[in-house]
């Protein structure tokens, strides 16, 4: 529902109060029919999208068919992509298409709720730390805000989800998490085999995928997309991220060879997989957690739904013992995972800098 106020400039509007405190988000701002971007969203020139920084030949990250996932060529393609690009897309992954469609619909329904309904899930009002409706990334710490609203749901238990997650999206979000579990296990098994770790026992599995967070992201149409960003440069702090995007596009990944940005084109029915910092650390740098960012869009709203597959907050993560025993020099220290995540969340997005926290 559109906010009841209607103005075309924001001079008389307290942006932080309207967007953050009142829960209208950037979606509410966009629906006021603004003609120009409020100054709080203007990014410094080096952070804006500029086609001269994009890969001219549209070199693209691989799209991997998972139907024969135990084929050695498939395993090789996955390990190569995780080492070279840190990103790939998968098709025929086994997650039913209706589950993906349902969670996209549910995301649109959540953001269509009135601001006062969404505000019940804000950091200040939410009855639990594991549910958070917010906007931008860390508005308190950012010099320029990002053009994105989100709902972040940390999975604690089915019981908590049943009682506390917003009813418009909880079943669909849970279904997406549960039906992607098998493909996550397959991917992690392949990636561990690629490090010569032949068996993923319970302890390892728990460290690699012991916790999950799902974010529902909403990027409304933006009056001056060239001046701002949907999400700024960052790497994820997960082990793996399973990202569902709609048909709009706007996700860009850093090509580590050229430092230029490559677009991740929407492929119908696919899931985008990326390595996060936890897996870069655990693999002692073999698999790369690559910088990525999202542009704002001048003509369409966009949604995306990442599942962040993580260690548990209390886990200590560091390079695998098998790698150290084989003679590799550890590039990272052992860190408590929740300390690592808090470090990430308390600062503005700053590209690949988060991982310095764990460097030897």
Ligand X SMILES: O=C(O)CCC(=O)C(=O)O
Ligand Y SMILES: CC(C)(COP(=O)(O)OP(=O)(O)OC[C@H]1O[C@@H](n2cnc3c(N)ncnc32)[C@H](O)[C@@H]1OP(=O)(O)O)[C@@H](O)C(=O)NCCC(=O)NCCSC(=O)/C=C/c1ccc(O)c(O)c1
Q: In the complex, which residues of this chain contact ligand X (CB under 6 A)?
A: 215, 217, 231, 236, 243, 245, 251, 292, 294, 304, 306
Is 236 a binding residue for Fe ion by CB under 5 A? The answer is yes
Among 211, 280, 283, 297, binds ligand Y (CB under 6 A): 211
If one counts every other C-beta atom within 10 angstroms of the C-beta of residue 72, the result is 10
Q: What is the smallest separation between the CB atom of 48 and ligand X, expressed in angstroms? A: 17
Partners of 153 in beta bridges = 131, 214
Minimum distance of ligand X from residue 231's CB (angstroms) = 5
Between 230 and 319, name the residue whose CB sits nearer to ligand X. 230
Which residues ranging from 266 to 305 are in contact with ligand Y (CB under 6 A)? 276
Residue 98: contacted member of Fe ion, ligand X, ligand Y, none (CB under 5 to 8 Å, by partner type): none
Return the structure tokens found at 145.
């805000």
From CA 207, how far away is CA 104, in angstroms rounded?
29
DSSP percent split of the chain into helix, strand, coil, nearest 5? 35, 20, 45
Phi, psi of 344 (to 5 degrees): -65, -45
Using the minimum distance from each CB to Fe ion, give the nearer residue, 165 or 252.
252
Among 85, 150, 155, 165, binds ligand Y (CB under 6 A): 150
Q: Does 345 bind ligand Y (CB under 6 A)?
A: yes
Does 236 interact with ligand Y (rule: CB under 6 A)? yes
* Pairing state between β 271-275 and 87-91: antiparallel
Quote the DSSP letter at residue 85.
Answer: T
Stretch that binds Fe ion, among 44-52, 55-63, 232-240, 312-320 (CB under 5 A): 232-240
Among 308, 332, 355, 358, binds ligand Y (CB under 6 A): 308
With 0-12 CB in 10 A as exposed, 13-18 as middle and 19+ as buried, what is 333?
middle
CA-to-CA distance for 182 and 58, rounded, in angstroms?
A: 32
Give the residue at shortest CB distance from Fe ion.
Answer: 236
Residue 122 touches which member of ligand Y, ligand X, Fe ion, none, C-beta under 5-8 Å by kind: none
Distances in whole angstroms, Cα of residue 160 to Cα of each of 13, 157, 333 = 37, 5, 34
Cα–Cα distance for residue pair 181/101, rounded to 1 Å: 17
Q: How far is CA 249 from CA 124, 267, 268, in A?
A: 32, 10, 11
CB of 292 to Fe ion, least distance (A): 6
Is-contact 294 251, C-beta < 8 A?
Answer: yes
Mask 93-132, x = binds ligand Y (CB under 6 A)? ------------------------------------x--x
- The nearest distance, CB 116 to ligand X, in angstroms, is 25
Q: Name the binder of 283 from ligand Y, Fe ion, ligand X, none, CB < 5-8 A by kind.
A: none
């Amino acid at each position: 529902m559109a906010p009841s106020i209607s103005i075309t400039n924001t001079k008389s509007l307290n942006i932080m109060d309207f967007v953050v405190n009142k829960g209208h988000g950037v979606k509410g701002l966009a629906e006021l029919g603004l003609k120009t971007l409020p100054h709080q969203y203007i990014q410094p020139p080096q952070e804006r999208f500029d086609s001269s920084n994009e890969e001219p030949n549209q070199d693209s990250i691989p799209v991997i068919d998972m139907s024969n996932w135990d084929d050695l060529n498939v395993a090789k393609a996955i390990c190569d992509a995780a080492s070279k690009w840190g990103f790939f897309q998968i098709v025929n992954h086994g997650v039913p298409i209706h589950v993906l469609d349902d969670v996209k619909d549910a995301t649109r329904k959540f953001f269509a709720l009135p601001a006062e309904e969404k505000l019940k899930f804000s950091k200040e009002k939410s009855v639990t730390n594991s549910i958070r409706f917010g906007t931008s990334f860390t508005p308190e710490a950012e010099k320029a805000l990002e053009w994105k609203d989100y709902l972040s749901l940390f999975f604690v238990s089915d019981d908590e989800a049943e009682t506390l997650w917003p009813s418009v999206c909880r079943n669909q979000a849970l279904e997406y998490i549960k039906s992607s579990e098998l493909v996550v296990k397959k991917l992690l098994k392949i990636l561990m085999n690629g490090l010569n770790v032949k068996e993923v026992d319970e302890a390892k599995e728990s460290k690699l995928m012991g916790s999950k967070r799902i974010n529902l992201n909403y990027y409304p149409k933006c009056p001056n997309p060239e001046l701002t960003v949907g999400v700024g440069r960052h790497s994820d702090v997960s082990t793996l991220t399973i990202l569902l995007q709609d048909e709009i596009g706007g996700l860009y990944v850093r090509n580590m060879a050229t430092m230029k940005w490559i677009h991740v084109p929407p492929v119908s029915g696919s899931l985008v997989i990326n390595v996060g910092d936890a897996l870069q650390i655990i693999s002692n740098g073999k698999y790369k957690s690559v910088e990525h960012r999202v542009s704002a869009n001048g003509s369409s709203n966009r949604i995306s739904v990442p599942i962040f597959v993580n260690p548990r907050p209390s886990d200590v993560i560091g390079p695998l013992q098998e790698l150290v025993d084989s003679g590799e020099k550890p590039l990272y220290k052992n860190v408590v995972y929740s300390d690592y995540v808090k470090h990430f969340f308390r600062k503005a997005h700053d590209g690949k800098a988060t991982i310095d926290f764990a460097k030897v």
